[in-house]
Amino acid sequence: MSPAPLVLTVAGFDPSARAGLLADTWAIAHAGGAPLAVVTALTAQGPQFVCVPVAPRLLGQQLRSALASGPVRAVKLGMVPDRGALAQIVRALRPGSRPIVVDPVVRTSRGERLSALDPADYRQLAHRLGPRHRVVITPNREELGWLEASPAQLLRLGFWGVVVKGSQSAVDEVFGPTGHQVLGGARLPRSTSHHRGTGCRFGSGLATALARGEDLVSATRSAKRLVRRFLRSPIIR
């Protein structure tokens, strides 16, 4: 039996574990990976919302430490608070060749601002990370509109793949090396307070499936199954 691949998540910390870094590590472990985690910001998302970015220098030190832990087979990039953090991430991740899954999250599900990055920062990300990486971006339909670019345009900008998540319909669209495919699915009921972080789990599951050698369409199907597993799990009160 082959060892679980190391998968690095770089994201914000939500102490409820319903979204962000802890949701990512749950997804990586349940998808068959071994999680490594780097914190980009500390948040409190209860009655009062607080988001405090990690100092760029400390972020860079975390990244170097995580990448020195062993052969990282894939990366999931979540909330990036600002351009200083983004510069540290790009500098650390540029060497090598691995799948990098980018979840362009800039707001919470309730609309609170998490990031000062703008659409151009995300549109340029594949180019900045270099051509050796297989960079996949996973916007939902609202985020795709915010990016001000179609999937075809994003592919021309250097992204290896674009997965448009159907957050409301459970129908996802995959654009990549084999063209365009639509992956259907039935929408499951969810609790808006407890079933947060589905996008985090989807991106982390996708990164882990890619790390295990699946192609983009197969990896997307695996990520969808993981999210369905989460939505079917009992709500912990």
pLDDT by residue (tens digit) across 73-97? 999 999 999 999 999 999 999 998 9
- Any idea of the CA torsion for 226, 41, 57, 8, to the nearest 10 degrees? -10
Which residue from 171, 167, 184, 173 is spatially nearest to 216, judged by alpha carbons? 173
- Region for residue 35 given its phi and psi (left: phi exceeds 0; alpha: psi -120 to 50; beta: otherwise): beta
Q: Which amino acid is at 34?
A: A
Domain-embedded: residue 237: no
Q: Could you give the number of structural domains in the chain?
A: 1
pLDDT by residue (tens digit) across 163-198? 999 866 678 999 998 899 999 876 655 555 555 678
Instruction: Band the pLDDT of 48: cuts 50, 70, 90.
Output: confident
Q: How far is CA 42 from the centre of its chain?
A: 17
CATH number reported for the structural domain that contains residue 29 in this entry: 3.40.1190.20
Which residue from 20, 13, 32 is spatially nearest to 74, judged by alpha carbons? 32
Tell me which residue range forms the domain holding 60: 6-232
- Region for residue 170 given its phi and psi (left: phi exceeds 0; alpha: psi -120 to 50; beta: otherwise): left
Domain-embedded: residue 1: no
Question: What pLDDT was estimated at residue 232?
Answer: 77
pLDDT by residue (tens digit) across 141-170? 999 999 999 999 999 999 999 999 986 667
- Cβ count within 10 A of residue 20: 30
Q: What is the mean pLDDT of the chain?
A: 90
Q: What is the C-alpha to C-alpha distance for residues 77 and 8, in angstroms, rounded to an integer?
A: 8
Residue 97 DSSP code: -
pTM score of the predicted model: 0.92
Question: What pLDDT was estimated at residue 237?
Answer: 39
Domain-embedded: residue 60: yes
